[in-house]
């Protein structure tokens, strides 16, 4: 208990992004103590974290407001008792990813693209994560990459490979290079996309080794970030985004619409502006994927469309992300039109 208390008061000294990942907060009580919150908050959080473990990097925690249990960044990572409630329509596999499995670690949902689950590891455990019950032990193991690569080589329809997880940037530069080197040998692969939250929650990951890997790729690379609130975009994140662009990557962002975090047009507009100032274009605004344990984050579809309408009316078009819902088995994401007026 003494060690945990001291650690809450003294964040670890930085010694590389991998060390920062290893030293991330892993218990609700440590998180609550670090932010000076009512210790009673940890009781329900402990129960919920039995279902889905907690993980929060110190670099992300430093952007939260001390003493505020409603801080929008904290709400994304603090387990709540509400996660234990059952709700109709909320399931372990809301996007039907088991049915889309083409090979171990490889999902093919849409024509021309395949998603490679490169690793189960992630720097942060977001409470609304649609893969919180994904069977990583069965699928996301490095020895099984070979089966996925062989399937990609057989399927000449696949022109784009999407690295996902977990978070693919939690892999070392050497392992990323080994994976992309193998993909470069497949003639029909023409594009690489990387879906990652690490440059947002752990911007130190974007170091010289990572940018050298990106710059060395033979294809145009697209890096899709995941930021939900303007308070996530600080100076270190802006530097990381600049470095990604300097390595030749196109950098986009996708946001999840979350009740109590960003469910109003003003908040989303500020996020779009901050992203653009960092050289990142807003891409998608997702309705919540209805994963079990996340119902308390859901925003009703009609309200989401009205928020999207207000957002569109307040910003130039290039700063307005497309409101979409992902439906299991659909051939593409389903766009939802904004609603204007009362």
Confidence of residue 116 (pLDDT cuts 50, 70, 90): very high
Q: Mind listing the pLDDT tens digit for each residue in 151-206?
A: 999 999 999 999 999 999 999 999 999 999 999 999 999 999 999 999 999 999 99
What pLDDT is recorded for position 2?
A: 27
DSSP assignment letter at 291: B
Distance CA 190, CA 158 (A): 9
Angle, helix 173-184 to helix 208-216, in steps of 10 degrees:
0
Structure tokens at 113: 């693209």
Distance CA 310, CA 269 (A): 9
What is the pTM for the complete model shown?
0.93
Structure tokens at 301: 């579809």
Residue 3 has pLDDT above 50, yes or no: no
Confidence of residue 143 (pLDDT cuts 50, 70, 90): low
Q: Mind listing the pLDDT tens digit for each residue in 29-86?
A: 999 999 999 999 998 889 889 889 999 999 999 999 999 999 999 999 999 999 999 9
Select from 85, 74, 79 the least CA-distant residue to 44: 79
Please report the sign of the dihedral spanned by the C-alpha atoms of residue 18, residue 22, residue 26, residue 32: negative
Distance CA 111, CA 138 (A): 24
What pLDDT is recorded for position 1?
A: 22
What pLDDT is recorded for position 44?
A: 84
Mean per-residue pLDDT, 282-306: 97
Q: Name the E strands within the chain.
A: 101-103, 106-107, 113-119, 160-165, 191-195, 221-226, 250-256, 281-286, 322-325, 334-335
Q: What share of the chain is helix, strand, coil (3-state, %, to 5)?
A: 40, 15, 45
Distance CA 128, CA 339 (A): 25
Confidence of residue 342 (pLDDT cuts 50, 70, 90): low
Mean per-residue pLDDT, 297-316: 98
Between the CA of residue 56 and those of 22, 32, 45, 134, what are the distances in Å?
Answer: 10, 12, 14, 20
Domains and their CATH numbers in the chain: 2-84 (no CATH), 101-335 (3.20.20.70)
What pLDDT is recorded for position 341?
A: 78
What is the average pLDDT score of the chain?
93
């Amino acid at each position: 208990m003494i060690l945990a208390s001291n650690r809450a008061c003294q964040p670890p000294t930085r010694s590389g992004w991998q060390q920062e990942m290893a030293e991330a907060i892993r218990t609700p009580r440590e998180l609550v103590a670090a932010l000076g919150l009512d210790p009673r908050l940890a009781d329900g959080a402990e129960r919920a974290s039995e279902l889905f473990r907690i993980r929060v990097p110190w670099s992300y925690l430093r952007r939260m407001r001390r003493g505020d249990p409603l801080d929008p960044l904290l709400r994304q990572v603090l387990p709540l008792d509400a996660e234990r409630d059952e709700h109709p329509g909320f399931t372990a596999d809301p996007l039907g990813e088991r049915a889309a499995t083409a090979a171990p670690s490889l999902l093919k949902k849409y024509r021309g693209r395949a998603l490679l689950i490169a690793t189960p590891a992630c720097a942060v455990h977001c409470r609304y994560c649609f893969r919180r019950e994904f069977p990583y032990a069965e699928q996301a193991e490095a020895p099984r990459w070979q089966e996925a690569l062989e399937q990609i080589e057989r399927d000449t329809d696949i022109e784009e490979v999407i690295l996902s997880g977990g978070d693919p940037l939690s892999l070392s530069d050497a392992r990323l290079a080994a994976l992309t080197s193998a993909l470069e040998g497949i003639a029909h692969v023409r594009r690489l996309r990387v879906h990652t939250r690490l440059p947002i929650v752990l911007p130190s990951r974007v170091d010289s080794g990572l940018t050298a890997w990106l710059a060395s790729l033979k294809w145009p690379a697209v890096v899709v970030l995941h930021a939900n609130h303007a308070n996530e975009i600080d100076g270190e994140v802006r530097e990381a985004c600049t470095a990604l662009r300097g390595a030749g990557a196109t950098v986009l962002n996708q946001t999840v619409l979350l009740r109590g975090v960003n469910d109003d047009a003003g908040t989303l507009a500020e996020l779009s502006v901050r992203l653009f100032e960092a050289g990142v274009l807003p891409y998608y605004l997702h309705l919540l994927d209805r994963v079990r344990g996340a119902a308390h984050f859901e925003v009703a579809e009609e309200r989401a469309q009205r928020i999207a309408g207000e957002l569109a009316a307040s910003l130039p078009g290039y700063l307005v992300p497309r409101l979409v819902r992902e439906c299991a088995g659909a051939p593409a994401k389903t766009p939802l039109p904004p609603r204007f007026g009362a």
